Amino acid sequence: MDLSMPGFELVQLKSGAESIRCRKHGETMHVGSGPSTEAAELHVNQQRIVERAVACQVEGNSPFVIWDVGLGPAGNALTTLEALRAIDAPVEIHSFEIDTAVLEFALKHSGALGYMAGWEPVLGELLERGEVQALPHVRWRLHRGDYLDQMCHAPPPSAIYHDPYSPARNPQMWSLEVFRAARERCAPDALLTNYTRSTAVRVTLALAGWAVGLGVATGDKDQTTIAAARAQMLERPLDAIWLRRVRASTNAAAFRGGRYAPGPIREADLRTLEALPQFAGR
């Protein structure tokens, strides 16, 4: 453990991969399967980033824009870059981070973490200059500060990796305000993926204007969450059975104003949810 940076520590996951634990939030990143595997399964493959970036180029809409929300130790971003080596379609990655201490910690331990190997100079330049040509066809930009304040500086995304700390520890980042602002700014073909299967998070996403579906299994999680700007993009949209669960749940209240206050859904929110195109008539 590096005592000069006491906010974080390296931990070995069940999979054998090394990851990072934030002591302040008491949370380990990529806890299920490790930084590269979780990033690939949950975000890169599920969002079909490589195919969609190529399609974007063919349709003349390049660059394909990705928002990497909560850069952290860059597991999602670097896994994306590795996948993008296979193509030459133009891509922009816009990472958002309120505190780069975890990335600085990770860089000091890049040997143990493994997934950073070879990317250290790129990460160094990103930290120093705020942007870097990560691959000949991929521009990578770092937006320092609070995501909600910074998102207006990034172009509309077709892909959002939503990866802050958990709703209990980081409720502002799972709030109606944040999801609504992202929905208003995103491209018409946007997908948003995250690691939770929380009913309250799904309710919040739906009320914010996203169509919401079941996401892939990864690590110990039998399902996660995927949201889309258009419902047709979802393979497994949430349905009437889920809506029934919302009505019965004691933990389905939408997140508002950065407060973590679990409880049943408000009556007015339930009416709004039931009237959404995804659920109307169910």
Closer residue to ligand SAM, CB minimum distance, 148 or 276: 148
What residues contact 266, with CB distance under 8 A and at least 6 apart? Answer: 253, 254
Given the DSSP bridges, would you call strands 18-22 and 8-12 parallel, antiparallel or unpaired? antiparallel
The interface region with ligand SAM, picked from 91-99, 225-233, 256-264, 265-273 by CB under 6 A, is 91-99
The answer to whether the beta carbons of residues 167 and 255 sit under 8 Å apart is: yes
Q: Using the rule CB under 6 A, is 29 a contact of ligand SAM? A: yes
Q: Using the rule CB under 6 A, is 171 a contact of ligand SAM? A: no
- Between the alpha carbon of residue 117 and those of residues 8, 120, 121, 197, the distances in Å are 20, 7, 10, 32
Q: Which residue, among 25, 19, 24, 92, has the nearest Cα to 56 in the 3D structure?
A: 92
Q: Rounded to an integer, what distance in angstroms lies between the CA atom of residue 152 and that of residue 246?
A: 33
- Find the binding residues for ligand SAM in span 124-163 (CB under 6 A): 146-147, 163
Q: Could you give phi then psi for residue 38, rounded to 5 degrees?
A: -65, -40
Q: Using the rule CB under 6 A, is 32 a contact of ligand SAM? A: no
Q: Using the rule CB under 6 A, is 67 a contact of ligand SAM? A: no
Closer residue to ligand SAM, CB minimum distance, 43 or 52: 43
Q: Using the rule CB under 6 A, is 74 a contact of ligand SAM? A: yes
Among 64, 96, 119, 174, binds ligand SAM (CB under 6 A): 96
Q: Using the rule CB under 6 A, is 102 a contact of ligand SAM? A: yes
Residues making contact with ligand SAM (CB under 6 A): 29, 35, 39, 70, 72-76, 96-99, 102, 146-147, 163-165, 170, 173
